[in-house]
Amino acid sequence: MDFIILLANNEVEFYTEFEVADERILFAVSDLPEKEWSWIRIKHGEFSVGRGMIEDPTLRLDFKDKSFLMRLLNQDVNIRRAVLTGRIKVKPLGKARVIANFFGLYMNKIGLKLEF
């Protein structure tokens, strides 16, 4: 995720999309200890990443295993289908658009199309 955050912090489209955002996104993986979970912090167009639990996540994505998270990061997963089938649990569901916008911009920058 470090590369994604580096890209986000250096591309004006990310800043424009998230300049008023204040989000703490947690990627929780059931088969990993909490200290190995990942998070993304978006605050007024600036992005940071870390490991473990982030305080008061505004969006939480729960994965059953690390391999599925890696498939998401490698764009091998249809996000909408994964959410609808329960492979990814999103809490609160109404915030799913935040992560879709974030990964949509990322994939556009690397020349891929985000599948929903």
The token pair that represents 34 in the structure block: 């909490």
pLDDT in tens, 82-106: 888 888 899 998 888 888 888 778 8
pTM assigned to the model:
0.85
- Using the predicted structure, report yes or no on whether residue 18 has a pLDDT greater than 90: yes
The pLDDT value given to residue 32? 92
The pLDDT value given to residue 116? 43
The pLDDT value given to residue 79? 75
Residue type, 67: S
**Exposed, middle or buried: residue 78 (CB in 10 Å: 0-12, 13-18, 19+)?**
middle
Q: Where are the domains of the chain?
A: 2-109
Whole-number Å distance between alpha carbons of 55 and 24? 8
The CATH H-level (homologous superfamily) assignment of domain 2-109 is SCP2 sterol-binding domain (3.30.1050.10)
**Exposed, middle or buried: residue 12 (CB in 10 Å: 0-12, 13-18, 19+)?**
exposed
pLDDT in tens, 36-84: 999 999 999 999 999 999 999 999 999 888 888 788 777 677 777 888 8
Residue 112: pLDDT band (50, 70, 90) is low
The pLDDT value given to residue 100? 80
Phi-psi group of 52: left, alpha or beta (phi > 0 → left; psi -120 to 50 → alpha; rest → beta)? left
